[in-house]
Amino acid sequence: MITTVTLNPAIDKTYRIRELKCGRIHRVQQVTEAPGGKGINVAKVLHRLGQQVVATGLIGGYNGQRICHLLDEMHINHDFCRVSGESRLCLNMIDDQGVGTEVLEPGPAISPAEWKRMKDKCADLAKQSSFVVFSGSLPLGLDQSAYQQLVHLVQQSGAKAVLDTSGAAFRAALDACPFMVKPNLDEVRQILGANMLTREEIGQVIQEWHQHGVEWIAVSLGAEGAIVSRRDAGAWLAIPPQIEAVNPVGSGDSFVAGFVAGLAEHRSLEECIQWAVACGAANALEERAGEIVPDRIREFNPQVKLVRLSIT
Amino acid sequence: MITTVTLNPAIDKTYRIRELKCGRIHRVQQVTEAPGGKGINVAKVLHRLGQQVVATGLIGGYNGQRICHLLDEMHINHDFCRVSGESRLCLNMIDDQGVGTEVLEPGPAISPAEWKRMKDKCADLAKQSSFVVFSGSLPLGLDQSAYQQLVHLVQQSGAKAVLDTSGAAFRAALDACPFMVKPNLDEVRQILGANMLTREEIGQVIQEWHQHGVEWIAVSLGAEGAIVSRRDAGAWLAIPPQIEAVNPVGSGDSFVAGFVAGLAEHRSLEECIQWAVACGAANALEERAGEIVPDRIREFNPQVKLVRLSIT
């Protein structure tokens, strides 16, 4: 079993409106809804790939109930911790020109008692899981050590922790030595406080994290693919097939899902990387994050090019 | 008891954001929620005025449950018909300059079976009510005779129907002879297809509706007050005190609530008009629609000027 953890899930609402104008009243022509948040996107893709998956995290209120209902409709297992606040809405208002304007609610603040229950649930689920995937930012009320605490718990139970977050929460969690991390290039830049990075500098960061104990490191490069490195095995540049992207939101989450599915199936290192990149590309062809078509992955998989790097 | 009917209620969400820009991602700093829709605003004001009130209408889904929960928190009685769709959100995004941009969902489509149940509930509540107030536009799936059908049912039961809607639904409902109607000036213009109206023309419309059987007619004029006419008693221009409006949304609903409260307490014709105008003015001083301060009404009440009109 694979567990995905989303500490601040959302209802992703998409509104189609003619034109957004400040100070005006707009009547929405079309409303669509999906359960959202990065970890839930990972769960959606894992489910499509045929993996046994459970989505957990913190949900609250009527929006929380609705998130569960939407996951039920997709036949995705879930086991969330209930909190007293109301889960957030993330709105994307798309006009007739295809321009999207996003408005994101902050979500509920988490109390110490709620956090304690989340840790207990995470420890329980980890005991039944081969991998536990942590994705996205922290909700209000949690300090920056939150992922560090969860990664530590999970690795103690024998499951492998995969981490996809950013900033101080990411830096703190590195101390707990997650099995795999997947920052994107911007996140690496933020962590180093650098505007630009050479391939050598990325290599140094990767080396440093490996020395710290991280087994797998994937630095995603958007449409250019990813640099993926395994401790004691070296690094690869994975180049995706050229596609006309429809919506790249969720491609990083799809990459993580593809990778973890490959690891769970004990595929070779090269296969895992190819599968991950194919999932990211397939996601970019869909309007909705995480709703990939498995046939597309099989089509893209052999088209992913792997180039051995000497950066590590 | 007074019943208010809201056929397409909403959760009114207010977002505070720095500046709304097309194509950008915005993080909301503050979220507030209130149960909304014109009939629910009327219920809120009636409740504040100490009237025994029941809010009914059509609600659905998790948003519908949330509307009930928010009404419970305000101790406002409700008895809604459940529908299979999801009740709508109405968003107002207010920037640092105080400019509001509204985005309104369409709400659920109502099936014939759901409409049948609504009519039954409305007839049941009318039997226990002195007044039934119908406010706002019709949801999808109902034809323009919907208010006509409900007004007819209510008047048959002996309760008095008060109607505040617009367009074809309003025109159709006039045939059922509601006890009172409250269009605003724009709605009268729309009905007549006129850009401007003289006082004489308004008088002709009022006369016509009275001849049709409507007992009370109030044409609201925004900050300028209202023209109010009773069949066989003549018309008044009611001029509110001068105030610095904070948010006039809901002032028409507050006017209706004040008027009906006056009628329910068997107050004099002049007192009912003054009370209604004072409620409208008090509402405009609040950020939230329908959340008036009763002390303000008592303060404004003697300041409302009544001028006898010879238009009818």
* pLDDT at residue A247, rounded to an integer: 83
pLDDT in tens, B91-146: 999 999 989 999 999 999 999 999 999 999 999 999 999 999 999 999 999 999 99
Inter-residue contact B29 to B16 (CB < 8 Å): yes
Q: For position B193, what pLDDT does the model report?
A: 84
Question: Could you tell me whether strands B234-239 and B305-309 are parallel, antiparallel, or unpaired per DSSP bridges?
Answer: antiparallel
Please write the tens of the pLDDT for every residue from B163-192: 999 999 999 999 999 999 999 998 899 888
Give percent above pLDDT 70 in chain A: 99
CATH classification of A179-312 is 3.20.20.140, yes or no?
no
Residue A72: helix, strand or coil by DSSP? helix
Q: Which fold has domain B38-60+109-309?
A: UDP-N-acetylmuramoyl-L-alanine:D-glutamate ligase (3.40.1190)
Q: Which residue of A has its CA nearest to B100?
A: A23
How many whole angstroms separate alpha carbon A81 and alpha carbon A79? Answer: 7
CB atoms within 10 A of CB A205: 18
Which residues on chain B are in Cβ contact (under 8 Å) with A89?
89
- CB-based contact B106 A28, cutoff 8 Å: yes
Beta-sheet strands, E only, within B149-233? 160-164, 180-181, 216-220, 226-230
- Considering only alpha carbons, which residue of chain B is nearest residue A32? B105
Tell me, what's the pLDDT at A5?
98
Residue A37 or residue A287, greater confidence: A37
How close, in Å, is residue A240 to chain B by CA atoms? 27
Structure tokens at A7: 């500490």
Size of interface A-B (CB pairs under 8 A): 76
- Say what the ipTM of the complex is: 0.86
What residue of A is the nearest CA neighbor of B90?
A27
Average pLDDT over residues A163-183: 95
The per-residue pLDDT for B246 is 84
Query: What CA–CA distances, in Å, run from A225 to A46, A184, A221, A268, A281?
Result: 20, 10, 5, 19, 9
Give residues with Cβ within 8 angstroms of A51, minimum separation 6: A2, A260, A261, A264
Q: Name chain B contacts of A106, Cβ cutoff 8 Å.
A: 27-29, 31
Nearest to B7 by CA among B105, B102, B84, B83: B83
User: From chain B, which residues contact A within 8 Å (Cβ)?
Assistant: 15, 17, 20-29, 31, 61-63, 65-66, 69, 89, 91, 93, 95, 99-106
Question: Residue B15's closest chain A neighbor by CA?
Answer: A105
**Closest CA–CA distance from residue B138 to any residue of chain A (Å):** 14
CA A81/CA A91 separation, integer angstroms: 24
Residue B156: its pLDDT value, please? 95
For residues A165 and B209, give the distance between their C-alpha atoms in angstroms, rounded to a whole number. 65
Contact of A275 with A267, CB cutoff 8 Å:
yes
Check the CA dihedral A291-A297-A303-A304 and report its sign.
positive
State the average pLDDT over residues A175-182: 97
**pLDDT (average), residues B34-50:** 97
Q: Residue with structure tokens 């959606």?
A: A44
Rounded to 5 degrees, what are φ and ψ at A224?
-90, 0
Q: What is the pLDDT, as a whole number, of residue A249?
A: 85
**What are the domain boundaries of chain A?**
179-312
CA dist., res. B38 & res. B8, Å (int)? 9
Confidence at residue B96, expressed as pLDDT on a 0 to 100 scale: 93
Residue B22: name the closest of A197, A102, A230, A163 by CA.
A102
pLDDT of residue B312: 54
CA dihedral angle for residue B183, residue B70, residue B62, residue B39, rounded to 10 degrees: -10
Cα–Cα distance measured from residue B132 to residue B139, given in angstroms and rounded to the nearest whole number: 19
Task: Give first-to-last CA distance, chain B, whole Å.
Answer: 32
Provide mean pLDDT across the span A130-149.
97
Alpha carbon of B243: minimum distance to chain A alpha carbons (Å): 23
Cα separations in angstroms, A81 against A47, A59, A125, B126, B148: 21, 6, 12, 44, 48
pLDDT digits 0-9 by tens, B214-269: 999 999 998 899 999 999 999 999 999 999 888 888 999 999 999 999 999 999 99
For residue A302, pLDDT beyond 80: yes
